[in-house]
Chain A
Amino acid sequence: MDKKSRIFTLLVVILLLSTLVNAGGALLGIIDVAIAEGLKLVAKGWIVSTGWQVIDFYEKIFDSFPLLLTTNPPMSEITSGMFFFIKIIAPFYILAIVILALYILMASSSMRGRAKAKSMLTNLIIGLVLISLSPGVLKVFFIISENLANALISMGANAGISALKGASGGLYEKFWKLTLIHRTGGVELFAIHTTLLFGLTIMLLLRHVMVILFGMLLPLAFFLYLFYPTKHIGKGLFMQTFLWTFMPIAWILALVIIGTVIGSIPSYIPEFYILIAALFFFIGSPMMILGVGDWLAFLVFLFEVLQAAPLSIGAVVIDETMK
């Protein structure tokens, strides 16, 4: 190509480009909207996929449901703690027996007092047996609870677990649809969804912790149960051990019930609502089935905490004085 034609070609190219740029500026307005909408959709897709990763992360707890509900922590972890408390109790025990014996030998003047002391001594000896047997008692609890759980779980708990998964899936579906309509449309639903799933995980793991905690305190529970002033504390501790050990039974029962109910729902009722109700029923089931605490218990909790706070002590003092 000679020099002239090269310059000519360059001029043509520049002319074409300037036209393109000029027209492009005007055209851009139209293309821009399309690209913007596309990018918005990408941003929404990013939110939806991020949400899915987290929901999927939490939903994996459903796979562990049968394992977490049918097993209890191994006794070896609890017995060390139990022996720790037995060691603490032992001196008090010896002291109590010695004082009682001395009372019977020397100080008791009335027949009634002596009889009372003797019955106390019998109580102490029964307690001694119970305390030394407390690992066995807990083991029996565990065996009963595990056997019951295994028997119940085969009655159709898997249908219940799939119902809970379905509830979670339904909530996620609503979330992504709302997010596609508006970027922040499904945020509240997502917050509720993750809170529910996180709460479920926490409750299941907390049960194992509580079984270990109250299992370790079982000797103390027996010890406190023997003395009249502390009888209700011992009873409370024992009840807590019992309830936390048998809580899976309530949960599995709830799963079985959910599974049965889901199968018999007429087709004109939207399944999603039933599934959501099932999720709430599962969370509330220990409170309803075992009576761990009635629905008003939370208010009582708050009241008790407030009562213990320093300001309320003043109120109690005034209240007591006015009586």
Chain B
Amino acid sequence: MRKKKFMNLMALALVIILLMIVSAEAKGIKLESLEVLLESLIIKPLIRGLVIAAPIGYWLAYQDGTSFVKNFNRVILYNPPTEGILPFLNILLKILFPVYSLLIVSIGFYLLLYSSSPEGRANAKSLLSKLIITLVLISLSSRLIWLIFSISGYLTDSIFSLTSLELIGEILNGGIWGMLILSTWLMIPDIELGAVSLMLVYVFAWLPYMVISLRNIVLTTLMILFPLGILLYFIPELKSIGKTILEQFLIWTFIQAFMALALVSVAKAFSVTTLVSNPEITCLNIFPVPGINNMLAWFFTSIDLGTTNLMTLGFGAVAHFSIILVPIVMVLLFKKFLP
């Protein structure tokens, strides 16, 4: 009975407040408090949760947001097809064959008719052998590239076998989802607060792919230049150019092995490192209002957006950054190794 009375009283109060609002509106008074209540505390936070965070979560869970996380081993193992260079190789050979014939014939003439000193003859002979070696190597260059790619691919595959791929996947997944959880938690009260972490979500989703795509583009370019590199390497005056091309080709090829090694190291470090306190952060109890909170929590958990901790987030970020860092370190460490 008492409860019924209370409910009646509440209903009356609500009607009076509504009537007051209507009366105020009729008098042309704009209610700022209502605006603030809806804008800062209910509507806009809800919109941010449902229109910004949730679609990004959906993008990560069901679309290409976590494509790298799901396919990292295949993506890292991928090498551009060697058949791609065949048209370029044919053009190069078409240009080189007349030049080669001319060079061989002139060396032959030199040996037969003009050579007077033994030194000159020895030089001509060594040039002839170099020409023949380069000719063979250039004709075999697509096979050579295939061989180098196979060695690198095999090495990468064996490095991946040093730890479980599932663990690496989990770490990468933890990094990208952790960042989204953090940015959701921050962006619900104020969108600008979550800007840095939201940007990092995109960095984690795109940058590894960008680095790996850059590798493929550079490698395709170097594959086309590879036969030319061999030719230039055997000409003493142009050796430095040939050396640069061959070195860069080898470095960019073996970057995949080092990316795998970096990920394996992250997985190993993740499984042995401990923190004194490993705090958790969640985006499930963001709203102070229980009803809205439950609704959002149901929505977020349905797309995996729940809780993260410092270890998972930190190592996930390190895993993504190491993919980006490896080409830089490799290019810096492994330069000028050809004689």
Contact = CB atoms under 8 A, between A and B. Distances in A.
A108 interface: no
B189 A216 contact: no
A258 to B, nearest CB: 20
A147 to B, nearest CB: 20
Interface string A61-75: 101100110000110
Interface stretch (B78-86, B293-301, B324-332): B324-332
A195 B266 CA distance: 21
A321 to B, nearest CB: 7
B314 A202 contact: yes
A273 interface: no
Interface of A: 17, 20-22, 24-26, 28-29, 31-33, 35-36, 38-40, 42-43, 46-47, 50-51, 53-54, 56-58, 60-61, 63-64, 67-68, 73-74, 77-78, 80-81, 84, 88, 183-184, 187, 190-191, 194-195, 198, 201-202, 205-206, 208-210, 212-213, 216-217, 229-230, 232-233, 236-237, 240, 301, 304-305, 307-310, 313, 316-317, 320-321, 323
Given A25-B24, A237-B333, A305-B331, A36 B186 contact: no
A63 B333 contact: no
15 contacts: A17-B16, A25-B27, A28-B20, A29-B24, A32-B31, A36-B33, A54-B182, A57-B281, A64-B276, A67-B276, A84-B158, A84-B159, A209-B269, A212-B268, A308-B331
B281 to A, nearest CB: 5
A39 B23 CA distance: 22
B19 A21 contact: yes
A310 B271 CA distance: 38
A35 B33 contact: yes
A321 B331 CA distance: 22
Contacts of B274: 67
Interface in B243-296: 244-245, 248, 251-252, 261-262, 264-266, 268-269, 271-281, 288
A187 B192 contact: yes
Given A28-B23, A53-B281, A67-B276, 9 more contacts: A32-B32, A39-B40, A81-B261, A84-B162, A190-B193, A202-B318, A202-B321, A301-B328, A304-B335
B321 A64 contact: no
B325 to A, nearest CB: 8
B162 A81 contact: yes
B11 interface: no
A201 B159 CA distance: 27
A63 B314 CA distance: 15
A166 to B, nearest CB: 19
B248 A308 contact: yes
Contact of A77 (B268, B333, B336): B268
Interface stretch (B63-71, B96-104, B107-115, B217-225): B217-225
Given A24-B23, A205-B269, A208-B269, A229 B29 contact: no
